[in-house]
Amino acid sequence: MLAIDTSTPAVTAAVGEVGDGGAPALLAQRVTVDARRHGELLTPSIEAVLSESGCAPGDLAAVVAGVGPGPFTGLRIGLVSAAALADALGLPTYGVCSLDAIAHAPAGMTARMPGGLLVATDARRREIYWAVYGPDGARLVDPSVSRPADVPVDGCVLARGAGAQLYADVLGLPVEEPAHPPALALITLAAGRVSAGAPSEVLTPLYLRRPDATEPALAKPALGPR
C-alpha cells in the first residue's frame, strides 16, 4: 500500500506491505521536513518510493493517508493527492488520524509508561493540535486545538510530537520521538482494513478550525449618477 501524510511540516510518502498474518513491513519511505513545499515535494516523493520499492502503481492495493489534524493548505495537498491517485488507479482509500500514528509509533519510554501520553503537533498561531492516549494506546481525549497553557495534562506522564517539543516548557512533560507521523504507523493502523478488503473511506480532513486565508469580501458596487 502507499501511505501519505502532509499534516505537519514533514512531507511523508512510503510503500509498505502486509503479509499473510505477518506484521506490516516498510519497503521504502521519503520524509522531507519543509512546511512551505508540500505541493512541490509530495509527487516526487511518491515516485521515488515506488521506484525504490520496485512497485509499479498497478501493484498497489490501497492508498492510506493521514487525515490530520493539520494546517489547511498542507493537509489538503496530501488528501487531494491521495484521493486523485486512488481514483485514477481504482484503489480504495483509508484514513488514519495523524496524531494516532504518532501515538502508536514504537519508542523507548512508552512501554513502561505508567500514565497517559499527550501527542501534540504545531498548529501555528501559538496553538497546538493535541490528543491524549492511555498506556494501551487507546485514545482517551479526541483531537482538539488549543493554546499550550490550556491543554489539560493531568494524568499524562509523557509527550510526543513537534508541538510538544516546541512547548515543552509550558506543558511540563518529558518529550520523546517521533516528532511527526511515522509512515510505518500509518500503514500498521490501516493494515487490518486493507487485509479485510474493507470499503473505501472518504478522506475527511480534520481541520479543527477555519483556514488562515479567507476569501476577500465582495466590493460594493459604485453608485452611479442620480
Gap between the Cα atoms of 123 and 209, Å rounded: 10
Q: What does the pLDDT read at residue 213?
A: 47
Could you report the per-residue pLDDT of 75-110, keeping only the tens digit for each? 999 999 999 999 999 999 999 999 999 999 876 545
Asked if residue 69 has a cis previous peptide bond (ω within 30° of 0), the answer is yes
- Prediction pTM value: 0.89
Kindly report the length of the chain. 226
Could you report the per-residue pLDDT of 116-166, keeping only the tens digit for each? 999 999 999 999 999 999 988 899 999 999 999 999 999 999 999 999 999
Q: 26: part of which helix (H) or strand (E)?
A: strand 25-33
Residues of the chain with CATH 3.30.420.40: 2-98+181-196, 106-176
In whole angstroms, how far apart are CA 119 and each of 166, 171, 180? 12, 11, 10
Spatial CB neighbours of 217, under 8 Å, sequence gap ≥ 6: none
Q: Of 91, 66, 80, 134, which Cα lies nearest the Cα of 1?
A: 91
pLDDT over threshold 60, residue 208 = yes
**Which CATH class for the 106-176 domain?**
alpha beta
For β-strands 116-124 and 127-133, DSSP reports them as antiparallel
Confidence of residue 115 (pLDDT cuts 50, 70, 90): confident
Q: Residue 22: how many CB atoms within 10 A of its CB?
A: 9
Spatial CB neighbours of 72, under 8 Å, sequence gap ≥ 6: 207, 211, 212, 213
Q: What does the pLDDT read at residue 16?
A: 96
Asked if 149 contacts 128 with a C-beta cutoff of 8 angstroms, the reply is no
Give backbone dihedrals phi and psi of 12, rounded to 5 degrees, phi first.
Answer: -120, 130
pLDDT over threshold 70, residue 211 = no
Q: Which residues of 99-125 are buried (b: 16+ CB within 10 A; e: fewer)?
A: bbbbbbbebeebeebeebbbbbbbbee
Q: Identify the CATH assignment for 2-98+181-196 out of 3.30.420.40, 3.30.110.30, 3.30.1330.40, 3.10.150.10.
A: 3.30.420.40
Could you report the per-residue pLDDT of 60-79, keeping only the tens digit for each? 999 999 999 999 999 999 99
Could you report the per-residue pLDDT of 36-59, keeping only the tens digit for each? 999 999 999 999 999 999 999 999
pLDDT over threshold 80, residue 176 = yes
Q: Grid cell 501555528 — which residue?
A: 124
Confidence of residue 210 (pLDDT cuts 50, 70, 90): low
